[in-house]
Amino acid sequence: MIAFTENLAGESSRSRIEKGARSYNELRGELAAVIGELNEKIEALTLKKLPLIKKLAGRAAEKHKELETAILAAPQLFEKPRTAVFHGIKCGFRKNEGRIEFDDPESVVEKIQQFFDAPEPYLRIVTQPNKEALAALPVAELKRLGCRVVDTMDTVVIKSVDDAEKKISVLLKGALDAGLL
């Protein structure tokens, strides 16, 4: 192995580095040009297809609403199991996780300190109630602490089980971000 500072056929290390940097930069320039050309073609194709995308997205929203209405009208079909897959679409209900709310955080902190021998897991360093830790407590215990659990009702589930949903979401988000929708 030749040391980095040795000359190869009269060529200095600095010269070899400069040549390497130049060729690497040229290749990166070619790559950037190809990627830029590809992005331009993608943007042009997106603009060309945008009217159809908007039309289909609007129709999909209508069909989604129709399906949601049909599911809400027949909850008895989703008791056990709570969801079913029809034609690649998962339909039914799921339980929201809910969230913990309280009006007076200081009061909840005082009660946590009063009722627990080791209150630290339920408190943050800034001395606020730790909602993630409190979520593990039974509702009766939360009530005793001055908390209430809200938003635990059923929510309609309509979800594609294939990857098309992700691709459509990415495409629509890109169009929204570009101000095309």
Supply φ then ψ for residue 81, to 5 degrees: -75, 165
User: Tell me, what's the pLDDT at 7?
Assistant: 57
pLDDT for residue 150? 86
Instruction: Write the DSSP symbol of residue 8.
Output: B
Give the pLDDT confidence score for residue 67 in this predicted structure: 95
Q: Give residue 167's pLDDT.
A: 66
Return the domain boundaries, the chain. 13-93+155-177, 97-152
Return the axis-axis angle of helices 164-177 and 13-73, rounded to nearest 10°: 110
Q: What is the dihedral of CA 21, 24, 25, 28, to 10 degrees?
A: -160
Quote the pLDDT of residue 100. 93
Give the per-residue pLDDT at 156.
77
pTM above 0.85, yes or no: no
Amino acid, single-letter form, for residue 55? K
Residue 1's pLDDT is 46
**pLDDT the model gives residue 87:** 92
CA angle 41, 172, 178 (to 5 degrees): 60
pLDDT of residue 3: 52
Which residues of the chain, if any, have pLDDT below 70?
A: 1-10, 158-176, 178-181
Can you spell out the DSSP letters for 20-72?
Answer: HHHHHHHHHHHHHHHHHHHHHHHHHHHHHHHHHHHHHHHHHHHHHHHHHHHHH
Count CB neighbours of 129 within 10 A. Answer: 24
Count CB neighbours of 103 within 10 A: 9
> Which amino acid appears at position 181 of this protein?
L
The pLDDT of residue 74 is 95
What pLDDT is recorded for position 157?
Answer: 72
Predicted local confidence at residue 175, as pLDDT: 65
Cα 107 to chain centroid distance, Å, stands at 34
